[in-house]
Amino acid sequence: MQVKLLGRQPYAGIEAAMRDFTAARGPATDDELWLVEHDPVFTQGLAGRAEHVLGAGDIPVVQTQRGGQVTYHGPGQVTAYPLVDLGRLGIYVKEYVYRLEEAVLRTLAAYGVTGHRVRGAPGIYVRLADPFDHAALPSAGPGQDPFAGLGKIAALGIKVSRHCAYHGLALNVAMDLAPYARINPCGYAGLPTVDLRSLGVSADWNEAAERLAAELQRLLLRPA
């Protein structure tokens, strides 16, 4: 897997380049991993509903081909785009999503933060009261809020075409979190969004990007 650190980039150009790369790749094309820090932008997934954008203001809203609802990208966030041939890797979408989330969990663990999955809500979440607590989350019963006491630190949205995946995930490192108040993050009204800095963790963007890239490479290694 070739890793490309692309730095600060507008979203639209990167999204178009991902589509072009995926459309042009063949059976022998190497997988790639692009790591980007985007200019401020709200992106809507294929099923995105307009009512989840509460007031975009001066931040553009871009329609995309990924799954999921609206999310925010901006400076201080590591956005990772694995461009992966799932057929060659020998896995299906569910396993791919699991591995993307696992890469985030391992990256957070390197900073002492315990991340959690929430059933039916792709992405990674942390306990707001104690993000360093290693205990598993209790199961939410009928009628209970599965996000009670949690904040979202990483979002995930992918697209698969001809068994090849693009788009990816975003890990919040040290952002201006205010734009999240302009949307229902990933379609969940009132869901708190956090970053490493708001959890009391000092992390450099490049360091976090390199750690996340290393975990993604390990988990997406092509079978010999």
For residue range 5-55, what is the model confidence (pLDDT) as tens digits? 999 999 999 999 999 999 999 999 999 999 999 999 999 888 878 888 888
pLDDT level of residue 146 (50, 70, 90 thresholds): confident
Give dist(CA 75, CA 69) in Å, integer: 20
**Active-site choice (33, 36, 41, 186):** 186
Mean pLDDT of 101-109: 98
Tell me which CATH homologous superfamily contains domain 2-219.
Answer: Bira Bifunctional Protein; Domain 2 (3.30.930.10)
Cβ(82)–Cβ(216) under 8 Å? yes
The tally of CA atoms less than 13 A away on the side-chain side of residue 16 is: 6
- The H or E element that residue 33 is part of is strand 32-38
Cβ(36)–Cβ(9) under 8 Å? yes
Three-state DSSP at 171 gives strand
Active site annotation includes 186: yes
Per-residue pLDDT at 100 = 97
Mean pLDDT of 84-90: 94
Closest CA to 220 of 103, 116, 105: 103
Bigger pLDDT: 184 or 16?
Answer: 16
Extents of the domains making up the chain:
2-219
pLDDT surpassing 80 at residue 142: no
The pairing of strands 71-73 and 77-85 is: unpaired
Bigger pLDDT: 17 or 121?
Answer: 17
Residue 165, token pair as written in the block? 């995946």
Give dist(CA 45, CA 186) in Å, integer: 9
pLDDT surpassing 80 at residue 224: no
Residue 200, token pair as written in the block? 């009391």
